[in-house]
Amino acid sequence: MEKSRRFWIGVASKEHVQNGKKIGICQFCHGKSLPATRLHKGDIVIYYSPKLVMDGSVACKQFTALGVVTDDVPYQVEQFPGFKPFRRNVAYFEEACAVDIVPLLPELPFIRNKQSWGMVFRYGFLEIDETSFEVIARAMLGRVP
């Protein structure tokens, strides 16, 4: 029986997402292994960026990237001395545009508390339902891949 694809959101600054897109990778929660092991080839990854840069104070509040996992297992790299994050390879949809989250909130079932909606992103990585994925994909791509 074929495994159905799953839908994941990673949380990272827009700057970090853009860097990952350039090299075709994703990493979550500062490179921890567990999130990377939960993904399977064919799963969808969406990034939500609360800020423009990691240590900055300028808010972004956008979905900033959408792609498909292309490898079978996570791998570890030495990004710089002492930092060895776990990654997955992703084919990003280059035509996907960043979209503000606020107008989408009423249509996103994975966000149950619409007043404190940001809390759902506090752990940096989460699985979402297919309906939420479709809402986000239509906003970013104009279609569901």
pLDDT in tens, 60-83: 999 999 999 999 999 999 988 989
2 occurs within a structural domain: no
Do the domain assignments include residue 46? yes
Is residue 118 in some structural domain?
A: yes
136 lies in some domain: yes
The per-residue pLDDT for 17 is 97
- CA distances from residue 108 to 80, 136, 139 in whole angstroms, order as listed: 37, 8, 12
Question: Considering the domain boundaries, does residue 16 fall inside one?
Answer: yes
* Segment 98-144, tens digit of pLDDT: 999 999 999 999 999 999 999 999 999 999 999 999 999 999 999 99
Q: Can you give the pLDDT at residue 130?
A: 97
C-alpha 93 chain-centroid distance: 12
Q: How far apart are CA 126 and CA 59, in angstroms?
A: 21
Those residues with Cβ within 8 angstroms of residue 102's Cβ, 6 or more apart along the chain or in another chain: 61
Residue 67 and residue 44 in contact, taking contact as beta carbons nearer than 8 Å: yes
**Residue 135 resides in a domain:** yes
Cβ contact 36:86 at 8 Å: yes
1 within a domain of the structure (yes/no): no
Q: Domain count of the chain?
A: 1
The angle formed by the CA atoms of residues 75, 42 and 107, to the nearest 5 degrees, is 115
Report yes or no on 36 lying in a domain.
yes
pLDDT the model gives residue 3 = 67
- CATH number, domain at 116? 3.10.590.10
Q: Which helix (H) or strand (E) holds 34?
A: helix 33-38
Look up the pTM and report it. Answer: 0.94
pLDDT beyond 50 at 10: yes
Average pLDDT over residues 23-48: 96
One-letter amino acid at 139 equals A
Mean pLDDT of the chain: 95
For residue 93, the enclosing domain spans 7-141
Residue 1 has pLDDT above 50, yes or no: no
* pLDDT score of 76: 95
